[in-house]
A and B are shown apart, each in its own frame.
Chain A
Amino acid sequence: MGLEDKLPSGVLLSTVEGLAGYMRKSSVWPATFGLACCAIEMMALGSSPKHDISRFGMERFSASPRQADLMIVAGRVSQKMAPVLRQIYDQMTAPKWVISMGACASSGGMFNNYAIVQGVDHVVPVDIYLPGCPPRPEQLMDAIIKLHEVIGDTKLGPNREAVIKAVEEAALKAKPTIQLGNLPHEGMFA
């Protein structure tokens, strides 16, 4: 019938991390943060019968940030909206993840000007960057699936602290992107 019948002696062995990750990723509730065109593609993912987000248990978009796990920043973030974005992120309870959907959220997109924040990672920490203008619902689904893998593998307890420390040390040692190139000499195309 179900999983229960296939278990030898009815005992299932797993790790706490595995179970917690599995349960967290199976029912991620996105916070409604649709701003512009990408929001319409997000709505298409959520409400059109063709791309059905309920298969992941995510059809319940939570308007209240307190009950939301995932903030999909869908659309361009203007200067006026940035403090609001940060406030909503702060109001979300841990564990929380952020997908920056679209080119405008990831880097300012085609609007390289005074009015748009050039990437929401200036305001909130981002887990998955999803390019596109706007990304198709299938691409957003791909980003969500990749995020599910990340969520499912999250470490807990002292393992988690070790991971956080390792990531921080790697980030401190890393070279800024502009120095990563392998051009013949520095400043060649500056």
Chain B
Amino acid sequence: MSEAQEGMFGVSGTGDTSGYGGLVRTVANPGSTERPYGGYFDQLADDLERAYPDFADAITKVVVDRGELTLHVKKERLVEVAKVLRDKLLFEMCMGVSGVHYPERTGCELVALYPLLSMTKNQRVRLEVCTSEVDPHIPSLVEVYGGNNWHERETFDMFGIIFDGHPGLTRILMPDDWDGHPQRKDYPLGGIAVEYKGATTPAPQNRRSYK
């Protein structure tokens, strides 16, 4: 025996006695879907292929999941695809830009999603573009859909995606001299422990929580 053991109770290791600490869960993200897609998605894909001959080259993945169609587009072809969708397939409105950060997908960490709406045909489609953290450039869609001006500024502010061709890419939600991009996964939530008389409650990012 090399060390003295004190007391009968206490924590060893992580203190996890539940047995769930070693649980490995696979995250099953819906992958590329095979034809037929169902609903109006087949017609849409056919129309797009006819109007944009480089379809197979530009669109890397077509995902139909929970009644929604997502087209994964190569970022160099984004403006062309958007123009075709707007002019030939009558998707007049872009509902904005939504950014997501997947730190584990090396080379493709930062994702921008563009939900499009066609009021004439009452259809929706989503474009997904990804770029890497080391070179986060995506061409800007402000010339195609003017309403994306502020959305791209917000995505730049929150995720650091630089939109090439944007008329004025500055921070919009945080103060102009803020450091960092808050909604990235490696940016801390920034909460502080709340002090009471004699005790503290830990900040939300430090509390015990289930994954």
Contact = CB atoms under 8 A, between A and B. Distances in A.
Interface of A: 79-80, 107, 112-115, 118, 176-183, 186, 188-190
A189 B198 contact: yes
Interface stretch (B87-95, B107-115, B159-167, B182-190): B182-190
Contacts of B120: none
A180 B175 contact: no
Interface residues of B, number: 20
B175 A79 contact: yes
B192 A177 contact: no
A178 B197 CA distance: 4
Nearest to A176: B195
B182 A178 contact: no
Contacts, number: 54
B199 A190 contact: yes
Given A112-B194, A113-B189, 5 more contacts: A112-B192, A112-B203, A113-B191, A179-B198, A189-B199
B174 A188 contact: no
Contact of B182 (A114, A186, A190): A114
Contacts of B194: 107, 112
Interface string B43-86: 00000000000000000000000000000000000000000000
A115 B182 contact: yes
Contacts of A180: 197-198
B144 to A, nearest CB: 30
List 6 tightest A-B contacts by C-beta distance, closest first.
A181-B198, A114-B190, A112-B191, A189-B199, A181-B197, A180-B197
B190 A177 contact: no
Nearest to B182: A114
A82 B28 CA distance: 44
Contacts of B196: 177-178, 181
A183 B199 contact: yes
Contacts of B204: 112-113
A76 to B, nearest CB: 14
27 contacts: A79-B175, A79-B178, A80-B173, A80-B174, A112-B194, A113-B189, A113-B190, A113-B191, A113-B204, A114-B188, A115-B174, A115-B182, A177-B195, A177-B196, A177-B197, A178-B195, A178-B199, A181-B196, A181-B198, A181-B199, A183-B198, A186-B198, A188-B199, A189-B198, A189-B199, A189-B200, A190-B199
Nearest to B180: A114
B198 A80 contact: no
B198 A182 contact: yes
Contacts of A80: 173-175
Contacts of B187: 114
B181 to A, nearest CB: 11
B141 to A, nearest CB: 26
A179 B198 CA distance: 5
A186 B178 CA distance: 38
B198 A118 contact: no
A61 to B, nearest CB: 28
A43 B204 CA distance: 32
B200 to A, nearest CB: 6
B178 to A, nearest CB: 8
A178 B198 contact: yes
Contacts of B198: 178-183, 186, 188-189
